């Protein structure tokens, strides 16, 4: 009997020793895998490698999208690319005369950027309706309001796909659309039919289909104007609008389309120059840490790029120093500042951002967080500075004609 007990005791001890060795080996293996994973993560991230190899000028340049002053590539645009390593350009109607001239300008920007290793964002406001920058040879598309009246998600998606296809054919890679403002104020002087609707659910549905259509053509959609420009009575191009809304009001109306766009992986959101004193009495939304870092990033969970609306608008220039505004925008949580007009102002912003880093007003780590996201988005959309030799606008006009014929409410667009 004692012998049996002793044998059982030895067996128990043997099992316990075996289990101990097994768990020890498992733990060591897990640690080795974690260490290996960490090393792979550090060493196998090409974006981080690219970021680490960038100069300060290159990092600062990526934080700015600038405008061009006329129809032709000039020494100022050249300086923005070669000296300041600018992250991108936006073109307006003042920059576009006809298809041939447009291609020549875009191709000049791209070719000059060959001195840099990072391709340019090439953006445009092609919302449809009265906000269209493409040459007159291209057929017009309906306003957002008209699109929503059609009330057909498939139509919205198809139309946006065609818009994206022709932007890509021209050499653009970013569209400042869709407009996600809820048109809650009929006296609004700047939004109006640029909004899909006064109903946030309609704005959400149509805006998301617009995003998806642009993406099919590798065009980056930019949702605007956060946290909502639809209830203003002042045009922010001219002065600073003030809204007395609290956060509850915003969550119940203006923020609904943006929240749903974030759920649908929108990568870029443009902030508005509007003052909401109940959220931040000192800074417009575009410069407000509480609105950008707290509401947009923490509360709504947005991890993508935030770009300001144009800093040369009256809402900013008449109330703030543009250099201080640019620095404040980055501190507030924005990743890119938009400076659409006046080379001296563009240069001042670039220099101010550089100075802010050197002074310690903005940490290098904060700059690199934004630059990393910018590089990641450019890689995701496989941006290049490839030259476009020609664009056949007639092909896209035919596609729009075919689409319009299925919708009697768009018959007026067949007369172009």
Token pair, residue 218, equals 């590798």
- Residue range 309-355, pLDDT digits in tens: 999 998 899 999 999 999 999 999 999 999 999 999 999 999 999 99
Q: How buried is 33 (Cβ within 10 angstroms: 0-12 exposed, 13-18 middle, 19+ buried)?
A: exposed
Q: How buried is 359 (Cβ within 10 angstroms: 0-12 exposed, 13-18 middle, 19+ buried)?
A: exposed
pLDDT at site 235: 66
Q: Which CATH number characterizes residue 360's domain?
A: 3.20.20.300
293 lies in a domain?
A: yes
Token pair, residue 86, equals 């600018």
pLDDT at site 383: 98
- Residue range 186-245, pLDDT digits in tens: 887 789 999 999 999 999 999 999 999 999 999 999 999 999 988 786 667 767 888 899
- Mark out the alpha helices in 244-312 (DSSP H runs): 247-252, 255-263, 289
Nearest to 201 by CA among 158, 259, 150, 155: 259
Q: How far apart are CA 215 and CA 245, in angstroms?
A: 33
160 lies in a domain?
A: yes
- Residue range 57-105, pLDDT digits in tens: 999 999 999 999 999 999 999 999 999 999 999 999 999 999 999 999 9
Q: Over the chain, what is the mean pLDDT?
A: 90
391 lies in a domain?
A: yes
DSSP 189-255: SSSGGGSS-SSHHHHHHHHHHHHHHHHHTTPEEEEEEET--TT-SS-TTTS--B----HHHHHHTTH
In this structure, the chain runs to a length of 416
14 lies in a domain?
A: no
> What phi, psi does 226 have (nearest 5°)?
-65, 140
Catalytic residues: 237, 309
- Residue range 149-164, pLDDT digits in tens: 999 999 999 999 999 9
pLDDT at site 113: 98
Asked whether residue 170 carries a pLDDT value surpassing 90, the answer given is yes
- Please answer whether residues 255 and 225 qualify as being in contact, where contact means their C-beta atoms are separated by less than 8 angstroms: no
**Alpha-carbon separation of residue 197 from 181, 203, 327 (angstroms):** 8, 6, 34
Q: How far apart are CA 248 and CA 266, in angstroms?
A: 23
36 lies in a domain?
A: no
Highest mean pLDDT among 37-41, 187-191, 399-403: 399-403
- Residue range 115-127, pLDDT digits in tens: 999 999 999 999 9
Token pair, residue 10, equals 């030895």
272 lies in a domain?
A: yes
Mean pLDDT for 243-259 is 95
Asked whether residue 15 carries a pLDDT value surpassing 60, the answer given is no
Q: How far apart are CA 338 and CA 273, in angstroms?
A: 12
What CA dihedral angle connects 380, 382, 385 and 388, to 10 degrees?
-130
pLDDT at site 6: 41
pLDDT at site 38: 42
359 lies in a domain?
A: yes
227 lies in a domain?
A: yes
Mean pLDDT for 27-50 is 60
Q: How far apart are CA 306 and CA 163, in angstroms?
A: 23
**DSSP 3-state of 177:** coil
pLDDT at site 213: 98
Name the residue range of residue 312's domain. 57-403
According to DSSP, residue 179 is labeled B
Is it true that the peptide bond before 178 is cis, omega within 30 degrees of 0?
yes
Q: Which residues pair with 123 in a beta bridge?
A: 90, 174
**How many domains is the chain partitioned into structurally?**
1
Buried b (16+ CB within 10 A) or exposed e, 311-326: bbbebbbeebebbebb
- Please answer whether residues 147 and 159 qualify as being in contact, where contact means their C-beta atoms are separated by less than 8 angstroms: yes
pLDDT at site 237: 79
Percent of the chain with pLDDT over 90: 83
**Alpha-carbon separation of residue 376 from 48, 110, 224, 261, 345 (angstroms):** 9, 20, 21, 20, 28
Asked whether residue 25 carries a pLDDT value surpassing 80, the answer given is no
pLDDT at site 176: 98
**Alpha-carbon separation of residue 35 from 31, 40, 213 (angstroms):** 6, 9, 42
Asked whether residue 10 carries a pLDDT value surpassing 70, the answer given is no
- Residue range 269-311, pLDDT digits in tens: 999 999 999 999 999 999 999 999 999 999 999 999 999 999 9
Asked whether residue 26 carries a pLDDT value surpassing 50, the answer given is no
pLDDT at site 3: 46
Q: How far apart are CA 291 and CA 276, in angstroms?
A: 9
């Amino acid at each position: 009997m004692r012998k049996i007990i002793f044998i059982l005791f030895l067996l128990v001890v043997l099992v316990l020793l075996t289990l101990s060795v097994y768990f020890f080996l498992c733990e060591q293996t897990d640690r080795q895998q974690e260490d290996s994973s960490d090393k792979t993560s550090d060493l196998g991230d090409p974006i981080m490698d690219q970021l680490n190899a960038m100069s300060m000028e290159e990092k600062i340049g990526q934080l700015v999208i600038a405008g061009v002053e006329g129809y032709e590539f000039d020494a100022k645009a050249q300086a923005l690319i070669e000296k300041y390593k600018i992250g991108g350009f936006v073109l307006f109607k003042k920059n576009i005369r006809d298809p041939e001239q447009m291609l020549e300008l875009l191709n000049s920007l791209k070719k000059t950027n060959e001195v840099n290793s990072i391709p340019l964002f090439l953006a445009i406001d092609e919302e449809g309706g009265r906000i269209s920058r493409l040459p007159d040879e291209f057929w017009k598309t309906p306003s957002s309001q008209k699109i929503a009246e059609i009330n057909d998600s498939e139509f919205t998606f198809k139309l946006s796909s065609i818009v994206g296809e022709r932007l890509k054919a021209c050499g653009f890679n970013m569209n400042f659309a869709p407009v996600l403002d809820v048109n809650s104020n009929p006296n609004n002087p700047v939004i109006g039919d640029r909004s899909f609707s006064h109903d946030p659910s309609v704005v959400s549905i149509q805006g998301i289909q617009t995003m998806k259509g642009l993406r099919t053509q590798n065009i980056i959609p930019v949702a605007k104007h956060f946290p909502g420009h639809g209830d203003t009575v002042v045009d922010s191009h001219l002065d600073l609008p003030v809204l007395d809304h609290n956060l509850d009001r915003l969550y119940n109306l203006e923020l609904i389309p943006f929240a749903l766009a974030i759920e649908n992986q929108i990568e870029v959101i443009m902030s508005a120059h509007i003052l909401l004193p109940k959220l931040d009495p000192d800074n417009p939304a575009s410069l407000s840490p509480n609105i950008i870092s707290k509401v947009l990033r923490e509360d709504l969970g947005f991890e993508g790029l935030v770009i300001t609306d144009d800093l040369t608008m009256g809402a900013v220039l008449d109330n703030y120093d543009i250099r201080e505004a640019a620095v404040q925008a980055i501190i507030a949580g924005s990743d890119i500042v938009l400076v659409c007009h006046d080379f001296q102002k563009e240069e001042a912003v670039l220099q101010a951002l550089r100075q802010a880093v050197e002074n310690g007003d903005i940490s290098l780590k904060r700059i690199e967080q934004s630059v990393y996201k910018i590089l990641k988005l450019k890689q995701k959309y496989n941006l290049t500075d490839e030259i476009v030799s020609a664009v056949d606008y007639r092909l896209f006009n035919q596609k729009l004609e075919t689409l319009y014929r299925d919708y009697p409410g768009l018959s007026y667009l067949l007369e172009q």
